[in-house]
Amino acid sequence: MNAAAEAERSRVAGFRTKLLAAIMLLVTILTLLALFFAQRSLAAGFEEELQRQFQGELAAIDRAQQLRRGALVERCRALVRRPRIRAAFEDDALDLLYPNAADELRDLVARPAEAVPADATRGLRARFYRFLDRKGAVIVPPAGERTVGALAPADEARLALPALGERPQIGYLAHAGAGGGPTVSEIIAMPVFSFETGEPLAALVLGFEPPEFSGQTRDGIKRGIFLAGRLHGPDLPAEAALRLAPEVDDAAEEPVRVTLGGVPHLLFAKHLNPDSGYPPAFEVGVYPLAGLAARQRRVRWQVLGAGAFVLLLGLAGSHLVSLRLARPVEQLAQDSAVDRARRAQAEAALEMTSAELQRSARFSADASHQLKTPVTVLRAGLEEMLAQPGLTPADCAALSELIHQTYRLSSLIEDLLLLSRMDAGRLKLQLGPVDLGALIAGSLDDLGALPDELGLKVEADLPPVLRVTGERRYTAMILQNLLENARKYNRPGGRIRLAARADGAWLRLAVGNNGRTIPVAAQGHIFERFHRAAIGENVPGYGLGLNLARELARLHQGELLLVRSDADWTEFEVSFPLAAPE
């Protein structure tokens, strides 16, 4: 028993361990999944943020550019409306063009000698200007004209446009700067419209210092201008420029990833001069992803740390949960052990009881059988003695009484035999329709044939047809028992009343009689075997009749009840299942 409990305990402990392991596994998987997705969304978020940052910066730059360009274009527009400039074209006075333009553009063009102030207006000062004729070719300024700004003839020639167009055209020109080094100028070609015809007569081309493209922003974005296959930007090494050249066209649509000096970069480009006759120029930004990767790594570690913490919490939680979950199971295991023990005891007891019952039933059956024979022999002997001649009437009476007692004895033995068969569960009724009306009529006839010293009056209140389900022999036995009791316990001049009624699927037959009533205290025991103490010893019987009748009624699926026993009236009611109508 102790060993079994030990085994039970170890089984429960095993269960707890398995539960803990399962919950831990679940928690771990969930945490890892959450980590994985968090990681992925973080990475995507970084990319998105970067793109947004780019777009935002681009938009800001774009706005600034638009403003600046708008201002420049407005200034240029005002210039080309200057009557002197227009007059030079309209009145065919090209020789006066540059001298007059020098006056008109005095404020706009940086003088060669003048130190350009490094303030906000710097970008609004033109580095050079030239005029284009009606066909877009450059009108070369006279040799002495210094205000137009120095440009090498080859660079000057590149200011030409295939067509003047109606709108200002933006371009970018890489040329030798004032200091001799290469530089890029933003150029605006503004058509000069004829006052007379409204058609473009010529164009004024102004070169400005481009807005600050170079220099690192705080996010490490390096910028430059990509022009005619070359990238101009002090931050970007020349080979990087060459490397990027093929990518710029793609980058104009979407940022692309490039590897620069072994480091991944994000490259974006923006077409600076759409709808222009000048060669396309792109603003190019290169973002080193190393910083991004570092940030991403940092955040990944943070996420991992948080994940580990969560995992730890989860594991601790799962331990608690498994303990909590295991407790009822342990309880259940204990309970079931107790239950099993109890059940084993109960089963053993039941077996013993059953065996004893069997034994006792077999004993009473055997006893009944063994008793029947001597009674029969006894009666035969007594009847033989009664038939002897020369007996005194007193002897005859005594013998007759003895013979009568042998009948009672054998009847008692029959009843005991029947009861023992019922107790052993060996009595099986052959159920069928039984004509209870006929049975009652027969019983009443028998009752009438008996010597009636009491002067009893029998009443019957019966429907014409009384068919019940039962086995005729035992149904009759119930009826006889009840009628016999009703006669036996009646008083002189009393009544016996039989009344039957159908109640749903049942037939209820009430048998009532006058006579001494059953004391209330005894009413609960009258159906017990050998119970007749309260009735009085002068009444024949041995206390088996009611018990037998009730057992038989129950075998009929019916019931036998005491309805009332008071005021000189005792009434029993037996119910039988009604037979199916024919």
Partner 1 sequence: MNSHLFVWLARRRRSLVAALLLALAPGAPAATVEGRVTLPKTRTAPVVNQRYEIVAKAGVLSTNPPVAVVYLEGGFPRPATPPAAEIRQKDLTFIPSLLPVQAGTRVEFPNLDDTYHNIFSFSPPKRFDLGRYRADERPVPAVLFDQPGLVTLRCDIHEHMRALVLVLATPHFVVTDATGAFRLTGLPEGRHVLKAWIDSRTTREHVVELRGGEVQRVDFP
Q: Which residues bind partner 1 (CB under 8 A)?
A: 81-84, 86-88, 90-93, 96, 194-197
Backbone dihedral angles phi then psi of residue 268, each to the nearest 5 degrees: -130, 155
Two tokens at 44?
């995507």
Q: 315, 307 in Cβ contact below 8 A?
A: no
Nearer to partner 1 by Cβ, of 198 and 464: the residue is: 198
- Residue-wise over 166-187: b if at least 16 C-beta within 10 A, else e? eebbbbbbbbeeeeeeebbbbb
Q: 386, 406 in Cβ contact below 8 A?
A: no
Least distance to partner 1, CB of residue 97, Å: 9
Two tokens at 182?
């290469």
Crossing angle for the helix pair 2-80 and 83-90, nearest 10 degrees?
A: 60
Q: What share of the chain is helix, strand, coil (3-state, %, to 5)?
A: 50, 20, 30
Nearer to partner 1 by Cβ, of 87 and 102: the residue is: 87
Nearer to partner 1 by Cβ, of 84 and 488: the residue is: 84
Two tokens at 146?
């210094």
Nearer to partner 1 by Cβ, of 201 and 553: the residue is: 201
Nearer to partner 1 by Cβ, of 87 and 422: the residue is: 87
Least distance to partner 1, CB of residue 89, Å: 9
Least distance to partner 1, CB of residue 194, Å: 7
Residue type present at position 19? L
The span from the CA of 217 to the CA of 237, in Å, is 17
Least distance to partner 1, CB of residue 141, Å: 17
Two tokens at 39?
């990681």
Least distance to partner 1, CB of residue 83, Å: 5
Nearer to partner 1 by Cβ, of 82 and 300: the residue is: 82
Q: Provide the β-strand partners of residue 284.
A: 224, 269
* Sign (positive or negative) of CA dihedral 459, 463, 467, 468: negative
Q: What is the SS3 assignment for 459-523? A: EEECCCCCEEEECHHHHHHHHHHHHHHHHHCCCCCCEEEEEEEEECCEEEEEEEEECCCCCHHHH
Nearer to partner 1 by Cβ, of 104 and 414: the residue is: 104
Nearer to partner 1 by Cβ, of 88 and 418: the residue is: 88
User: Edge-to-edge, what's the strand order for the sheet holding 506-514?
Assistant: 457-461, 495-503, 506-514, 569-577, 559-566
The span from the CA of 314 to the CA of 479, in Å, is 79
* CA-based end-to-end distance of the chain: 64
Least distance to partner 1, CB of residue 88, Å: 6
Nearer to partner 1 by Cβ, of 91 and 275: the residue is: 91
Least distance to partner 1, CB of residue 197, Å: 5
Least distance to partner 1, CB of residue 202, Å: 14
Q: 174, 227 in Cβ contact below 8 A?
A: yes
Q: What is the SS3 assignment for 17-51? A: HHHHHHHHHHHHHHHHHHHHHHHHHHHHHHHHHHH
Least distance to partner 1, CB of residue 150, Å: 27
The span from the CA of 210 to the CA of 186, in Å, is 5
Least distance to partner 1, CB of residue 168, Å: 19
Q: Tally the residues of the chain.
A: 582
Least distance to partner 1, CB of residue 96, Å: 6
Least distance to partner 1, CB of residue 134, Å: 13
Looking at 22-164, which runs of residues are DSSP E strands? Answer: 126-132, 138-139
Q: 257, 267 in Cβ contact below 8 A?
A: yes
The helix/strand/coil state of 212 is: coil
| Cβ-proximal residues to 201 (8 Å cutoff; 6+ apart), any chain | 86, 89, 90, 134, 191, 192, 193, 194
Nearer to partner 1 by Cβ, of 80 and 548: the residue is: 80
Residue appearing with tokens 């955040």:
299
Q: How many secondary structure helices (H) and strands (E) does the chain include?
A: 11, 17
Least distance to partner 1, CB of residue 98, Å: 13
Nearer to partner 1 by Cβ, of 78 and 320: the residue is: 78
Nearer to partner 1 by Cβ, of 94 and 377: the residue is: 94
Nearer to partner 1 by Cβ, of 87 and 391: the residue is: 87
Least distance to partner 1, CB of residue 86, Å: 7
Nearer to partner 1 by Cβ, of 91 and 582: the residue is: 91
CA-to-CA separations, 535 to 253, 350, 519, 541, in angstroms, rounded: 118, 36, 9, 10
The span from the CA of 186 to the CA of 207, in Å, is 6
Nearer to partner 1 by Cβ, of 201 and 221: the residue is: 201
Least distance to partner 1, CB of residue 191, Å: 16
Two tokens at 132?
């284009």
The helix/strand/coil state of 285 is: strand
- The secondary structure of residue 141, as a DSSP letter, is P
